[in-house]
């Protein structure tokens, strides 16, 4: 059963990588209008399945019950989701950032911002942002959302909207679900260490 779990996790990972690569040839190209629900599905395949099923497999090796195995799965899944959200949020919550290209238009804050504004309004916002280096970007054949100055303006627009605060709330929600799963295990140093991981990825300035 452990081999089957890990094999299925690797299959999920490959499927997630294939989906990402088939939808976007560049990191910051806009993908389809996936919405946050579809984003969660993709993140589970690409980032969470391996950890969740590895946690479950560890409980199987230790001969714990199916209920405990499921709690371990839930911890791995939700902790990993929190970690991905925390990573996506860093360009928006850091007090200083010298890299205006450090976020993806397909990150959680951007997708949530798009959901609040609507897909068409978000695309219009991208297309209509003025570029201070328009001539140079035209010469380099940059699409509008690849220009550094436009990207910085989009970053500020996302910060000013509800996408960032909603992503923080979602990160903490998954963190709380991971902690709830941990409560099913008896107190120990190991449980405390796993809880500290959750606290670390749900803490923001």
Sign of the dihedral defined by the CA atoms of residues 169, 174, 177, 179, in that order: negative
On whether the CB atoms of residues 79 and 52 are closer than 8 A, the answer is no
Place of tokens 């010469």: 139
* CATH assignment of the domain containing 58: 1.10.600.10
**pLDDT tens per residue, range 42-61:** 999 999 999 999 999 999 99
On whether the CB atoms of residues 35 and 19 are closer than 8 A, the answer is no
Give the span between the Cα atoms of 21 and 198, in whole angstroms. Answer: 29
**pLDDT tens per residue, range 136-173:** 444 434 444 455 667 788 888 888 889 999 999 999 99
Give the span between the Cα atoms of 79 and 176, in whole angstroms. Answer: 9
What total number of domains does the chain contain?
A: 1
The two tokens of residue 143 are 């699409």
Give the angle subtended at the CA of 9 by the CAs of 103 and 37, to the nearest 5°.
45
**pLDDT tens per residue, range 8-44:** 999 999 998 887 776 554 445 555 567 899 899 999 9
User: What end-to-end distance do the CA atoms of the chain give, in Å?
Assistant: 42
The alpha-carbon radius of gyration of the chain (Å, integer) is 19
Full domain range(s) for residue 86: 1-202
């Amino acid at each position: 059963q452990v081999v089957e779990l890990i094999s299925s996790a690797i299959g999920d990972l490959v499927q997630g990588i294939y989906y990402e690569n088939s939808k976007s040839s560049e990191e910051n190209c806009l993908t389809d209008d996936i919405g946050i629900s579809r984003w969660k599905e993709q993140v589970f395949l690409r980032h969470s399945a391996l950890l969740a099923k590895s946690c479950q497999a560890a409980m199987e090796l230790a001969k714990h019950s199916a209920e405990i195995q499921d709690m371990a799965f839930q911890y791995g899944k939700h902790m990993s989701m929190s970690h991905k959200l925390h990573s996506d949020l860093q360009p928006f919550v850091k007090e200083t950032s010298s890299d205006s290209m450090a976020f993806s238009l397909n990150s959680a804050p951007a997708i949530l911002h798009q959901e609040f504004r609507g897909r068409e309004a978000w695309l219009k916002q991208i297309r209509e942002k003025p570029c201070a280096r328009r001539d140079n970007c035209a010469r380099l054949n940059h699409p509008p959302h690849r220009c550094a100055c436009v990207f910085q303006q989009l970053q500020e627009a996302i910060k000013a909207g509800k996408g960032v605060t909603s992503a923080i709330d979602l990160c903490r929600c998954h963190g709380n679900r991971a902690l709830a799963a941990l409560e099913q295990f008896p107190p120990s140093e190991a449980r405390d260490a796993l809880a500290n991981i959750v606290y670390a990825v749900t803490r923001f300035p």
